Structure 1
Amino acid sequence: MTQLSKADCLARPMSVRAKIQMAAGVVEALAEFGRQKISYCYWKSATKLESALCGDGDIDILVARTDQNRAQAILLSRDFKFFPSVGDREAPAVFTYLCYDEPSGRLLHIHLHLRLVVGGPLAKNWHLPWEDTVLSRAAPHAYLPVRQVDSACEALLLLTRNCLELGGWDPVSIRRGAAKRKEFDDARLELASRVECGDLRRLAAGFLSDDVADMVVDSLFSDQSAAWRAPLARAIRRHLSTGGSSYNGPEARLRSVGRSIVWVAGRLNKAIVHAPRPWHRRPAGGGIVVAFVGVDGSGKSTLIAALKDWLGIKVDVLPIYFGTGDGRPSLYLRPLKWLMPLATWMLGRKPRVASHGKASAGPPSLAYSILLAVWAIAVAADKRVKLTATWRAANRGLVVLADRYPQNESKNFNDGPLLERVPAVPEWLRHRELGVYQLAHRLPPDLVLKLMAPSETLAAREPAMDITVISRRLDALAGLAFGNAEVVCIDVDRPLDEVIRSVKRAIWQCL
Structure 2
Amino acid sequence: MRQDALHRTDPTAGQAAENTILPLVLMVLSEFDRYNITYFYWKSSNRLHRALTGEGDVDLLVAQRDQHRAQAILLERGLKLFPAVACRDHPALSSYLGYDEPSGRIVHLHLHIRLVAGTSLLKNYHLPWEEALARRAIVHPGLLIRMLEPVDEALLLIVRGCLELRRSDPVVLRNWQAMTHKFARDRAELADRIPRTALRRRAAELLGGELADVVADALYCQPELEHQRHLRRLLRRHFAPHRIYNDLEAGLRTMIRVAQLLAGHLNKRLLCIPRPWSRRAPGGGHVVAVIGVDGSGKSTIVATIRQWLGEEMDVIPIYFGTGAGRPSLILWPLKLMVPLITPLFKTKPKGSSHGKISDRPPGRLYSALMTIWATATAIEKRIKLSTAHRGARRGLVVVTDRYPQNEIAGFNEGPLMPRLIGIPQWLRRFEANSYSLAQRLPPDIVIKLVVPPEVCARREPDMDPSVIKQRIAAIPRLAFSGARVVSIDAQQPLPDVIRAVKKEVWRLL
Verify the 8 A CA contact 1:219 1:228 in the aligned structure 2.
no
Give the ranges of 4+ consecutive aligned residues of structure 1 lying more than 4 Å apart after TM superposition. Answer: 3-10
Q: Which residue of 1 aligns with 2:87?
A: 88
Once the 2 structures are TM-superposed, how far is the Cα of residue 247 of structure 1 from its aligned partner? 1.2
Q: How does 1:68-147 map to 2 (within 5 A)?
A: 68-147=67-146
Distance 2:136 2:397 in 1: 41
Verify the 8 A CA contact 1:10 1:17 in the aligned structure 2.
no
Distance 2:32 2:50 in 1: 20
Aligned residues: 508
Output the amino acid matched with 2:496.
Answer: E
Distance 2:75 2:421 in 1: 57
Q: How does 1:358-437 map to 2 (within 5 A)?
A: 358-411=356-409, 413-437=411-435
Cα distance, 1:64–1:6 mapped onto 2, change above 3 Å:
closer
TM-score (norm 1): 0.96
2:292 corresponds to 1:301: no
TM-score (norm 2): 0.96
Q: Which residue of 1 aligns with 2:471?
A: 473
Distance 1:458 1:6 in 2: 55
Q: How does 1:61-460 map to 2 (within 5 A)?
A: 61-225=60-224, 229-242=228-241, 244-411=242-409, 413-460=411-458
Cα distance, 1:157–1:385 mapped onto 2, change above 3 Å:
same
Identity of aligned residues (%): 49
Output the amino acid matched with 1:421.
Answer: R
Once the 2 structures are TM-superposed, how far is the Cα of residue 413 of structure 1 from its aligned partner? 3.7
Output the amino acid matched with 2:355.
Answer: G
Q: Which residue of 2 aligns with 1:16?
A: 17
- Over residues 43-83 of structure 1, what are the superposed CA-to-partner deviations in whole Å (9 max), with x where a residue is unaligned? 11011111111111111000011101100110111111110
Cα distance, 1:112–1:10 mapped onto 2, change above 3 Å:
same
Verify the 8 A CA contact 2:126 2:243 in the aligned structure 1.
yes
Verify the 8 A CA contact 1:42 1:59 in the aligned structure 2.
yes
Cα distance, 1:380–1:286 mapped onto 2, change above 3 Å:
same
Cα distance, 1:49–1:226 mapped onto 2, change above 3 Å:
closer
Q: Which residue of 2 aligns with 1:59?
A: 58
Verify the 8 A CA contact 1:40 1:147 in the aligned structure 2.
yes
Q: Which range moved further: 221-230 or 410-419?
A: 221-230
- Over residues 368-406 of structure 1, what are the superposed CA-to-partner deviations in whole Å (9 max), with x where a residue is unaligned? 010111111100000011011101100100000000000
Once the 2 structures are TM-superposed, how far is the Cα of residue 504 of structure 1 from its aligned partner? 0.8
- Secondary structure at the residue paired with 1:451? strand
Output the amino acid matched with 1:356.
Answer: H
Verify the 8 A CA contact 2:363 2:421 in the aligned structure 1.
no
- Secondary structure at the residue paired with 2:446? strand
Once the 2 structures are TM-superposed, how far is the Cα of residue 12 of structure 1 from its aligned partner? 2.7
Once the 2 structures are TM-superposed, how far is the Cα of residue 10 of structure 1 from its aligned partner? 7.1
Distance 1:85 1:36 in 2: 28
Distance 1:4 1:66 in 2: 22
Output the aligned Cα RMSD: 1.8
Cα distance, 1:374–1:4 mapped onto 2, change above 3 Å:
farther
Q: Which residue of 1 aligns with 2:502?
A: 504
Cα distance, 1:261–1:7 mapped onto 2, change above 3 Å:
closer
Gaps of 5+ in 1: none
Verify the 8 A CA contact 1:413 1:477 in the aligned structure 2.
no
- Secondary structure at the residue paired with 1:88? helix
Distance 2:211 2:39 in 1: 27
Output the amino acid matched with 1:294.
Answer: G
Output the amino acid matched with 2:33.
Answer: G
Output the amino acid matched with 1:211.
Answer: E
Output the amino acid matched with 1:498.
Answer: D
